[in-house]
């Protein structure tokens, strides 16, 4: 089972990312549960307790966070007790849609290097716990990229988990993968809506779309723009 935690900080992005991952994993038949689904301001200790009450040693805990600072890009932290296979898959899949991953790494506690630095990783042993820090909320440009592309990033997490668990990765009934040459006009026409409606659904301020970007085409459907080959 995948236990998805939207974290405590900046639920504006991590909560919808977590909800999307939860929905897609269940579409793919991968058992998952979303804790703290209302985005309540639970402490880390409270979230650890929720995770530990749900887990067996074969589960995966996915912690979705944002970073502070003026840098740009995504970071992935994995437990000392685990290898980097899942982190590497996430890195490769995010790179495939042009999202920069600064690093994926383990971090040791300075006072006891046999232990993880991150409390939520350390205190959810023995399950596999991984933290994804999607971007930097103090960097305006990075926030804009996250705002426009966070569903694309979430879809790549779904793809990575599917591959890691050796489960078939299929586009959902509500998704459509497009080829080179997509535009807001062609997408809107295909789904019988206006460009203005498409922009409204996706909170877009311009007609520009990015390769690999996920767009809502109705209140429940999504549209995935593929990387150009």
- CA dist 211 and 202 (Å) reads 15
Pairing between β-strand 101-105 and β-strand 74-78 as defined by DSSP bridges: parallel
Full pLDDT tens readout for the chain, 229 residues: 999 999 875 678 899 899 999 989 998 999 999 998 776 678 889 999 999 998 777 899 999 999 998 899 999 999 999 999 999 999 999 998 889 999 999 999 999 999 999 999 999 999 999 999 999 999 999 998 888 888 889 999 999 999 999 999 876 555 555 667 888 899 888 878 898 988 887 777 888 887 767 777 775 555 556 555 4
d(CA 65, CA 23): 18
In this structure, are 219 and 139 located in the same domain?
no
CB 61 within 8 A of CB 5: yes
Specify the pTM.
0.81
Whether residue 154 is contained in a domain is answered as: yes
Contact in structure between 132 and 66 (CB atoms under 8 Å) = no
> Strand 222-225's sheet: what is its strand order?
177-178, 222-225, 214-216
To the nearest 10 degrees (0 to 180), the angle between helices 140-164 and 11-27 is: 20
Q: How far apart are CA 64 and CA 134, in angstroms?
A: 7
Which domain range does residue 63 map to? 2-164
Q: What is the CATH number of the domain that holds 211?
A: 3.10.350
Shared domain for 138 and 160, answered yes or no, is yes
Whether 131 and 184 share a structural domain: no
């Amino acid at each position: 089972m995948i236990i998805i935690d939207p974290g405590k900080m900046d639920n504006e992005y991590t909560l919808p990312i977590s909800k999307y991952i939860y929905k897609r994993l269940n579409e793919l038949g991968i058992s998952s549960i979303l804790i703290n689904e209302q985005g309540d301001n639970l402490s880390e200790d409270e979230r650890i307790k929720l995770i530990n009450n749900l887990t067996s040693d074969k589960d995966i805990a996915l912690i979705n966070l944002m970073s502070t600072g003026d840098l740009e890009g995504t970071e992935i932290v994995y437990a000392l007790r685990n290898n980097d296979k899942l982190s590497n898959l996430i890195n490769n899949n995010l790179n495939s849609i042009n999202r920069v991953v600064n690093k994926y790494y383990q971090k040791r506690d300075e006072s006891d290097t046999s232990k993880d630095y991150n409390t939520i990783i350390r205190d959810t042993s023995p399950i596999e716990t991984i933290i994804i820090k999607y971007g930097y909320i103090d960097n305006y440009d990075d926030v804009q990229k996250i705002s426009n592309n966070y569903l694309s990033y979430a879809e790549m997490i779904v793809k990575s988990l599917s591959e890691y668990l050796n489960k078939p990765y299929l586009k959902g009934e509500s998704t459509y993968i497009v080829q080179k040459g997509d535009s807001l006009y062609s997408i809107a026409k295909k789904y019988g809506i206006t460009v203005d409606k498409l922009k409204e659904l996706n909170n877009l301020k311009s007609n520009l779309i990015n390769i690999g970007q996920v767009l809502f085409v109705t209140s429940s459907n999504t549209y995935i723009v593929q990387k150009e080959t």
